[in-house]
Structure 1
Amino acid sequence: MTLPESAAASRSHTGGLVPVLVAVWANVGVLVWLLLRGRDDVFWGYLGGPIALAAGVYASWRITRADRLPAPVRTFWLRMELAAISLGVTAVVAQLRANNNTGMSMWVATPMMIGVVLLMTAFLGLPGPRRTALCWLRAVLDTFTIAVASTLVFWYVVLDLAPAGTQLSAKVIAAVLGVGGVLLLVVVGKAAAAPETVVDGAALRVLTTGPLTCVVGTILLIAGEDGARLALSVLALPLTGASICVGAYLQRRALDRPDTAAPVTGRSLFNLLPFAAVVATAGLVISVSAQDMSARQRTVIIGAFLIAGCVVARQLLSLRENTLALRGIRRQQAELERLALSDNLTGLPNRARFLVALGERLDAKQRSAALLIDVDDFKMINDTIGPAAGDQLLFQVSQRLREQCTPAEMPARLGGDEFAVLLPDDDPAAAEAAGNRLLLALADPFRVGDQQLLLHASAGIALAGHDENADEVLRNADIAMYAAKESGKASLVRFEPRMRDDMINHATLAGELRNGIARGELRLLYQPVFDLVTGGLHGCEALVRWQHPQRGFVSPVEFIPVAERSGLIVPLGAWVLREACTQLAEWQAVHGAGAVEAVNVNVAVRQLRSAGFVDEVAAVLSDTGLRPRNLILEVTESSVVDGWQVRETLQALHDMGVRLALDDFGTGQSSLSLLRAFPVDVLKLDKSFVDGIAEGADRGRLAVAAAVAQLAEHLQLKAVAEGIENQEQLNRLRDMGYRYGQGFFMAKPLPAADCGALMAADPVQVA
C-alpha cells in the first residue's frame, strides 16, 4: 500500500530526527560527565565523539539514498559521509589513547587531517558560477594570504603559549591542523554565504561548526588551561558529529519544499579574512621586531603598519561600495528575471520559466512529468463574455491550479488558455492521478461578475524519458493534449510514442495535400439527392476526393482531419466551392430546366470564422452567374455553436439568399435549441438514425427519425434523409414524411459527367 505524500514526508522527517537526537544526547552526556566526573577516567568523556560521528555517518548515508536528490548534492553528502567516517576513526583513536595523556599525536592527527581534507573537498566540489582566470588567481592569493598569516600566528603566538616541554612534533601537528581548520572555515563559510547553492543554505551554515571547533580546539589543546583543554578535547568531535546530523536533517526538509531559494544579499564576513590576515601579520611583525630593534627602526615598522592599515581600510571602503552597487544590480536583475519568467496576467511562471525548471530537473536526473491543460472552447466563451471577463476567468483558473497543486508541483501559464503543471513523478498512475485531480478541480463552476460559468479542459501528460530535453517533453505533452481534444475533449491522455509518429504522418500528409491542391490532384464527385415520391433528381452534394500520384486514392477520412488541423481546409474549401458552382453553371447551360436547381457544398468552421467568407461566396456566385438560391451550404451543429462570429456569418449568408442545411442533425446535444437561433432551411437526418429503422427493432431510432420529419414539416423546412441503403429503409422514411433522400441504394457519388447524365435520364424507380 502506498503512503500518501504528506504521510511519507512526515515519516521521512521522523526518521531524519533519529540521528540528530542521538548526536544531541551524546553531547549532553559529555557535558554531564564534565560537570560530575571532572578529570576522572577521561575514557568515558571521549565516548561522545564516536557515538555522535556514527550518527553523522548514518545521517549522511541516509540523505544520499533520498529520492529527488540532484547529483551534485548526492556527491556532496557522499563526501561528507567519508569525512564523518575519517573523523569517527579520529574519535575512536582519541578515546583509546585518552588516559595516556600524550597530547596531540600522529595517531590522532592523521585521520583528523584526512577528515579535514575530505570536508574541504566536499565544499570545493560544489558547483557554482563559472570563474574566470582572474577569479581563480584572486582566490589562490586570498588562500595563500590566509594560510601564511594563520601559520605565523600559530607558530609565533599560539605555540609560544604551549607548556614547557611540548615536543616539536606536537607543535607542528597542531599548527598544520590549525591552519587547515582556518582554511576549511573559509571554504565552508564562502559556500554557505554564496547567493546560489545546490545544497541547502541552512545546512551549510550549520556545518561551519566543524571547522570552528577544529580551530578553537587546536588552539586550546596547545595553549589553553587544563580545564578548557579537556572540555574542547571531549566536545570538539561530538559537536562536529551533531552539526553533520543537523545539516543532513535540514537538507532532507529542503527536498520537500518548493524550489524557491532566497538569494543571499548580505556580504559574507569570510570575505574580510584576507584583510584580517594582513592586519594580524603586520601586528605580529611589530610585536616580534620590537623586541630587538632600536626606536628609529621601530618607528619605520610602525609607519609601515599604519600605511598597511590605511591600504586595508581603503580596500574595505571600496569593497563596501562595490557590495552596495552589486546589491542594487542583483535586485534589478532579480526583478528583470521575475518579469521575464512570470506571466503578467496570472502571476504564474511563464513558458520560459517552466522550461527552465523542467530542464533543471532533467539535468539532475530527477523524476518529472509535464501536464499540459487547455480550456475547451475558450474562444467561444471569450467571444461571448468579452475579453476583459475572459482575462478574469483565466486568472481564476490560474488561482485554482495554484491552490490545488502540491508544494512539489509547479503550475505555469504557457499562453492564451493553455496551462502546464510540472509534476515531480514519472510513474504513469501517479501522474494521471494528479492530472485527473486538477481537471476535476477545474470542473467546478467559476463566477465572473454576475455570471456562473462551467468549464471543461483537455489535458495531455508526458513522462520525462531518457535523453529527452525540456522542449521535447513539453512537445510530447502538447501532442497528447491534442489527442485528448480529438477524443471528445474534457479528458486526459498520456503520451505514447505512436502519437508522435501519427503527428509526423499528419504533417507529411499536410505538405502533400498542399501540393495536391496546387497541382490539381483533387476532384469532385457528386452524390445525387432524389425525390422519394417521384424518383426524380432533386439536387446533388459535392464531395471532394484525392487521387495521390504515389499513395493512390486517399480517403477523406484521412485527409479532411489533416486539412482541418493544418488550416488547409480554408483553401481546400474555397476550391470545392468554386469548382462545384462552376459545374452547376455548366449543367444549367447544357440541360436547362432539367438541371438540378442547387448544389450542396460542405463548409468547415474555419471558413465560417474567416472575415471574408461572405464576400468570397458572393464573388463565386457572381463569377459563375448563379443566383444565391442555387447554393446550399451544409454546416454541422458543432460549427453553429462555435461563437458569435460564426453566427453573424451564417446570418449574412442567409440574408443574401444562400440556403443553409444543418448536416448530421440529431447527433448534437442541443439540436432543437439550434433551430431557434440558426437560420436553417434544410435538415439532414444523420445516417445513424436511418440504419436499422427498416427492421423496426430500434424504437429509439424510429422515434427520432419520425420526430425530425414532423418537426421539419411544422417549421416548413426541407427534410433530407442520408445513407439510404435498401428499399425497405426508403419506404419507411417516405411513410414517415421524408420527401428527399440520398444514399448508395439510389446512387453512389458520381463524376460530373455521370451526374449530368442523370439529369437527362428518366426518374429512378423508388416504389
Structure 2
Amino acid sequence: MRRHVVSAGLICLLGTVWFILWTAFRPGPVAIGYVFMPLSMAVGGLAAHSLRRRMTPAPAGRRFWLLLEICCYLFAAGFGVLLADAVRTAPELPAMPPLGAGLIGAGVLVAMWGVAQVPVGVSSWYERGKQWLDRTIAFLGCSTVLWHFGISPMFWAPDPWTPSALVVLLLACLFAAGAITKVSYIAGGPVDRRAMRLVASTGLMAAGVALLAVLGGYHGILPGQAVCMPVCGLLIALGARRQLAADGAPARTGGGSVWLPYLAVLAVDVPVADVLIRPWHWAPGVWEGRVVVLAAVVVTALVALRQFVVHRENARLLREKQESEALLRHEATHDPLTGLANRALFRYALDRALETGPATVLLADLDEFKTVNDSLGHDAGDGLLMAFARVLRDAAGDGAEVARLAGDEFAVLVPPGVMGEEVARRIADATAAPISEQRLLVKFSAGLATAPPNTSVSDVLRQADAALYAAKERGRANWVRYAWGMERPASAHARLGGDLRRALDAGEFRIVYQPIVSLGDGEIVGVEALVRWEHPERGLVSPADFIPAAERTGLIVPLGRWVLRETCRQAAAWIAEFGPDVLDKAAPNVSVRQLHDPDFVADVAAALADSGLPANRLVLELTESAVLRGQHVSQVLHELHDMGVRLALDDFGTGESSLSLLRAFPAAIVKLDKSFVDGIELDEPDTPAADARQAVARAVAQLADALGLDTVAEGIESQEQADRLLRLGYHVGQGYHLGRPMPPGQLTELLAARRVKAAA
C-alpha cells in the first residue's frame, strides 16, 4: 500500500508544482494540467484493487472497495477523455465533453451506491428511522450550502457552464453531502471509520473545484484540475492503506454524531442570510432565493420533528429509569426467590413497630430442609421455600410483615392484637398437609419473643433466635416462647463454633486409637481413629458436644481432612516399624458433610499417596444416615471402592433400610451396633428376650457371611460378651473390655510388646 500512497502523493505534488510554474512562466501546453487527475484516480483504483486481494473476506467491505475501484477507473477514463479534448483545443481550455461527463457521472453514482451500501450498525427500525431523520437534516443543510455557493453561481453566471459540467459538479456535491452525513453515523463494521472518512473527503474536492470556478471563473478551472482533483486519488489510496491496517483488528464502535443536525441548521442559516442581504436572488426569473428559503423551512420542520422524537424518547427513558429504580429498590428490600421482605426491610419494619408499642416476632425454619436439598435437589428445595412463604403469608394475616432472613429461616412481625402462638398454630395446621409441587410433608420449629416499646431490634431478634434454638433442642416440630436466660445455651453453642475454628488453627485436636481385636486370640488387627479436643480452659471436650457444632458450621470438612491424613500417616508409620502384618485396617469416621465435599475423593487419594498407606488398609466408617443421602454420595462411595478403599457400615441394625443398603452400598465391613451387644451375656437361655437378641446378632453375622462381608461387634465390655459373640459367628470386635481408646504412643508400646512376645 505504501507505493500506491507515495505514487498518488507524487502526482499531487507534481500537479501543484506544474501549476505554480505555469502561472509564473507558462511552460508547455495547458493540456498538461489535465494529466494529473486521470493518473491519480488510476493509482487510487490500483490501491483499492490491491486491498481487495489482501483483506480478509467480509462481503460488505469487499463490495464497498470493489465499487470504489470501479469508480476510480470510471473517473480516470472520464478525465482521460477530457485530457484528449484539452490536447485538441489547446491552447484554449476545453469544455466538458458529453462522453467524459457521462463516465465521470457514472463514477459518482457508483461511489454513491458504494457509500450507501456500507452498514451503519443499526438494527432496529426505530433507531434506523431516527438516524435517517438526522442524516436527512444534515444532508439538506450541507446540500443547501453547496448549492448556494457552488452550483447556483455557475448556473446563473453570465456565461453559464455547459450542462454536462453542471451535472458532474452537482453529482459530486451530492456525493460530498451524502458521504459526509453517512460517515458521521457509521458505528463500526466491515469498513474502517477512518478509511471511510478519507473516502468521504473526496467529495470536498468537488466542492473546492466549484468554489474555484465561482471565484476564479475561467481562470479557476485549471487549478481545480491540476491541484484539487488529483487529491481524490491520494485520499482513496490513504483510505485503502488505513483499511488494510485495521483489517482483522476489533472493530471500533461509537455513536453517531448527535451534533451534526444542529450544525446543519446553522449552516443553512448562512445561505438564508445571504439571499436576504443580496436582492439579486429575488430578481424576476431567478428562483435561487426561493430554493434556499424552502430548504431552510424544510430543515427547520425536520428539526422540530426531531425534537419531538427526542422528547418522546426522553420521556420513555425517564419512565424506564423510574421503573428500573423502583425495581432496584424492591430487589434491595425483598427476597428474589419468595418475594418476601429481606432482613433489612424486616428490621426497618420492626424498628418502626417498636417506636409505637410492643412488638411480637416469630422466627421459624424448616426441620430437615437440608435433607430435601440433598435428596431431591435444589429446585425442589426452592419450591418448598416458596410454598412455605405462601403458608406464612396466609397464616400471619393482614398487617403482618413476613420476611425471609436467610436460607430456610423466616420471620413474622405479628400484627398488633394477635397472639404469636395463634399464628404458630395456624402455620402448624397449614403444614399438616403436604405442600409445594412435590407434595412434601414438612415440619417447622419456631421461636417467639415479645418486646416492650423502644427495645433494640437486635435484642428482639436475639431473643426470638434463642427461643428457636430451644425449640430445636426440645425435639423440633414445635414452638417456644422466649424466657429470661434462654439465650445462654444458644450463645454457648455459637461460641463453641468460634472456638472450633481457633482450635483447628491452634492444633488443639488429638487422635486416639481404639484397638479392633480378634475375638479368638486377642490379637490387635486394626484401630478405629477417634478425635478428641483438648481445650486450654475447658479441658477435654466431649465429641458429643463439638462434633454437632462442627457439622453445623461446616468445620467438620477441614477437621475430617486432618483426621484422615493423620490416621493414614500414623498407620503407615506403624506398618513401616512393625511390618505389614501389624494392622489390617485403620478406620477413621467420615461425616456426611465430608461426602458432599467435591474434593473428598481427591483428599483421600492425596492422603494415601502422601503417607504411602496401601488403599486396602484404609477403612472409612460411615453411618446409615450418611449413606442414604442421594445420588452424589452414592457416586462418591463407588469411586472410593474402585480405589481399593474399604467401606464399613457403622451402627448396623439401627436404621430402617439396613438390608436394602447392603445391595446398593459397596460395603466391605458390617459393624454390629452396641445396642445388640449390651446385655447379650445376661439373658437366660431359652427366654424370648435372649432368643430375639441372639437371633438378630446371629442373623447379621449369617447375612454378612452370605454376602462376603466382614463383621465387627461393637461395644464389648466383658469376656462373657466376647465369648457369646464368638459362638454366634463374630471373629472381630472392639470395646472397652478389649481395649480403650489410647494415644498413638501407648498403642505403639502395645505393638512393640506384641512383637517381643511373638519373637519369644
TM-score band (shorter)? 0.5 to 0.7
d(CA) in 2 for partners of 1:482, 1:519: 29
Correspondence 1:444 to 2:417:
no
Query: Is this contact kept in 1: 2:590–2:622, CA < 8 A?
Result: yes
Name the counterpart of 1:735. Answer: 727
Name the counterpart of 2:223. Answer: none
Question: Superposition pairs for residues 488-503 of structure 1, below 5 Å?
Answer: 488-503=475-490
Rg larger for: 2
Name the counterpart of 2:742. Answer: 750
Query: Is this contact kept in 1: 2:361–2:411, CA < 8 A?
Result: no
Residue 528 of structure 1: how far off its partner (Å) = 0.4
d(CA) in 2 for partners of 1:659, 1:692: 30
Per the alignment, do residues 524 and 395 of structure 1 end up closer, same or farther by CA in structure 2, a change over 3 Å counting? closer
Name the counterpart of 2:440. Answer: 453
Name the counterpart of 1:223. Answer: none
Give the TM-score taking structure 1 as reference length.
0.52
SS of equivalent to 1:396? helix
d(CA) in 2 for partners of 1:328, 1:552: 64
d(CA) in 2 for partners of 1:328, 1:751: 70
Name the counterpart of 1:412. Answer: 403
The runs of 5 or more residues in structure 2 that have no matched partner are 1-317
Letter in structure 1 aligned against 2:434: P
SS of equivalent to 1:546? strand
Name the counterpart of 1:435. Answer: 424
SS of equivalent to 2:579? helix
Residue 485 of structure 1: how far off its partner (Å) = 4.4
d(CA) in 1 for partners of 2:636, 2:385: 28
Name the counterpart of 1:140. Answer: none
Equivalent of 1:398 in 386, 389, 397:
389
Per the alignment, do residues 644 and 420 of structure 1 end up closer, same or farther by CA in structure 2, a change over 3 Å counting? farther
Per the alignment, do residues 477 and 712 of structure 1 end up closer, same or farther by CA in structure 2, a change over 3 Å counting? farther
d(CA) in 1 for partners of 2:697, 2:454: 56
d(CA) in 2 for partners of 1:385, 1:590: 48
d(CA) in 2 for partners of 1:709, 1:464: 60
Residue 572 of structure 1: how far off its partner (Å) = 1.8
Residue 689 of structure 1: how far off its partner (Å) = 2.6
d(CA) in 2 for partners of 1:461, 1:709: 50
Name the counterpart of 1:289. Answer: none
Per the alignment, do residues 367 and 723 of structure 1 end up closer, same or farther by CA in structure 2, a change over 3 Å counting? same
Letter in structure 1 aligned against 2:673: D
The answer to which of 745-754 and 438-447 deviates more is: 438-447
d(CA) in 2 for partners of 1:706, 1:487: 37
Query: Is this contact kept in 1: 2:350–2:359, CA < 8 A?
Result: no
After superposition, give the CA deviation of every residue in 1:451-474 in whole Å (9 maximum; x if it has no partner).
443333333333336764233323
d(CA) in 2 for partners of 1:513, 1:405: 38
After superposition, give the CA deviation of every residue in 1:367-391 in whole Å (9 maximum; x if it has no partner).
4132322x23334433544444443
SS of equivalent to 1:748? coil
Name the counterpart of 2:638. Answer: 651
d(CA) in 2 for partners of 1:692, 1:425: 58
Per the alignment, do residues 667 and 421 of structure 1 end up closer, same or farther by CA in structure 2, a change over 3 Å counting? farther
SS of equivalent to 1:518? helix
d(CA) in 2 for partners of 1:580, 1:466: 57
Query: Is this contact kept in 2: 1:528–1:742, CA < 8 A?
Result: yes
Correspondence 1:627 to 2:614:
yes
Per the alignment, do residues 706 and 445 of structure 1 end up closer, same or farther by CA in structure 2, a change over 3 Å counting? farther
Residue 484 of structure 1: how far off its partner (Å) = 4.2
Question: Superposition pairs for residues 452-531 of structure 1, below 5 Å?
Answer: 452-464=439-451, 468-485=455-472, 487-531=474-518
Question: Superposition pairs for residues 602-617 of structure 1, below 5 Å?
Answer: 602-617=589-604
d(CA) in 1 for partners of 2:637, 2:481: 38
Letter in structure 1 aligned against 2:645: V
Name the counterpart of 2:651. Answer: 664
Query: Is this contact kept in 2: 1:359–1:470, CA < 8 A?
Result: yes
Per the alignment, do residues 364 and 671 of structure 1 end up closer, same or farther by CA in structure 2, a change over 3 Å counting? farther
After superposition, give the CA deviation of every residue in 1:658-701 in whole Å (9 maximum; x if it has no partner).
11112222333433333333222222222233222222285565
Name the counterpart of 2:352. Answer: 360
Residue 579 of structure 1: how far off its partner (Å) = 1.3
Correspondence 1:382 to 2:369:
no
Residue 618 of structure 1: how far off its partner (Å) = 0.5
Residue 328 of structure 1: how far off its partner (Å) = 12
After superposition, give the CA deviation of every residue in 1:55-86 in whole Å (9 maximum; x if it has no partner).
xxxxxxxxxxxxxxxxxxxxxxxxxxxxxxxx
d(CA) in 1 for partners of 2:573, 2:391: 60
Per the alignment, do residues 506 and 392 of structure 1 end up closer, same or farther by CA in structure 2, a change over 3 Å counting? closer
Per the alignment, do residues 743 and 383 of structure 1 end up closer, same or farther by CA in structure 2, a change over 3 Å counting? closer
Correspondence 1:636 to 2:627:
no
d(CA) in 2 for partners of 1:341, 1:501: 32
Query: Is this contact kept in 2: 1:528–1:540, CA < 8 A?
Result: yes
Residue 569 of structure 1: how far off its partner (Å) = 1.9
Per the alignment, do residues 378 and 519 of structure 1 end up closer, same or farther by CA in structure 2, a change over 3 Å counting? closer
Per the alignment, do residues 335 and 713 of structure 1 end up closer, same or farther by CA in structure 2, a change over 3 Å counting? same
Query: Is this contact kept in 1: 2:357–2:452, CA < 8 A?
Result: no
Name the counterpart of 1:579. Answer: 566
Residue 639 of structure 1: how far off its partner (Å) = 1.9
d(CA) in 1 for partners of 2:385, 2:618: 41
Per the alignment, do residues 583 and 359 of structure 1 end up closer, same or farther by CA in structure 2, a change over 3 Å counting? same
The answer to which of 658-667 and 389-398 deviates more is: 389-398
d(CA) in 2 for partners of 1:714, 1:491: 45
Per the alignment, do residues 353 and 576 of structure 1 end up closer, same or farther by CA in structure 2, a change over 3 Å counting? same
Question: Superposition pairs for residues 302-341 of structure 1, below 5 Å?
Answer: 337-341=329-333
d(CA) in 2 for partners of 1:739, 1:468: 65
SS of equivalent to 1:481? helix
Letter in structure 2 aligned against 1:525: V
SS of equivalent to 2:722? helix
The answer to which of 655-664 and 348-357 deviates more is: 348-357
Residue 444 of structure 1: how far off its partner (Å) = 1.6
SS of equivalent to 1:476? helix
Name the counterpart of 1:716. Answer: 708
d(CA) in 2 for partners of 1:336, 1:454: 35
Per the alignment, do residues 711 and 420 of structure 1 end up closer, same or farther by CA in structure 2, a change over 3 Å counting? farther
d(CA) in 1 for partners of 2:455, 2:693: 51
Correspondence 1:345 to 2:337:
yes
Residue 535 of structure 1: how far off its partner (Å) = 2.0
Query: Is this contact kept in 2: 1:596–1:759, CA < 8 A?
Result: no
Correspondence 1:618 to 2:605:
yes
Residue 532 of structure 1: how far off its partner (Å) = 1.4
Letter in structure 1 aligned against 2:589: N
Residue 423 of structure 1: how far off its partner (Å) = 2.5
Query: Is this contact kept in 1: 2:463–2:482, CA < 8 A?
Result: yes
Query: Is this contact kept in 2: 1:426–1:464, CA < 8 A?
Result: no
Residue 537 of structure 1: how far off its partner (Å) = 1.3
Residue 586 of structure 1: how far off its partner (Å) = 1.1
Letter in structure 2 aligned against 1:627: P
Aligned residues: 435
Per the alignment, do residues 407 and 692 of structure 1 end up closer, same or farther by CA in structure 2, a change over 3 Å counting? farther
d(CA) in 2 for partners of 1:395, 1:540: 48
Letter in structure 2 aligned against 1:709: A
Residue 330 of structure 1: how far off its partner (Å) = 9.7
d(CA) in 2 for partners of 1:510, 1:388: 30
Name the counterpart of 1:558. Answer: 545
d(CA) in 1 for partners of 2:496, 2:388: 36
Per the alignment, do residues 437 and 675 of structure 1 end up closer, same or farther by CA in structure 2, a change over 3 Å counting? farther
Per the alignment, do residues 535 and 335 of structure 1 end up closer, same or farther by CA in structure 2, a change over 3 Å counting? closer
d(CA) in 1 for partners of 2:328, 2:754: 79
d(CA) in 2 for partners of 1:673, 1:495: 44
Query: Is this contact kept in 2: 1:371–1:422, CA < 8 A?
Result: no
After superposition, give the CA deviation of every residue in 1:75-113 in whole Å (9 maximum; x if it has no partner).
xxxxxxxxxxxxxxxxxxxxxxxxxxxxxxxxxxxxxxx
d(CA) in 1 for partners of 2:357, 2:739: 63
CA-atom RMSD, angstroms? Answer: 3.3
d(CA) in 1 for partners of 2:479, 2:658: 27
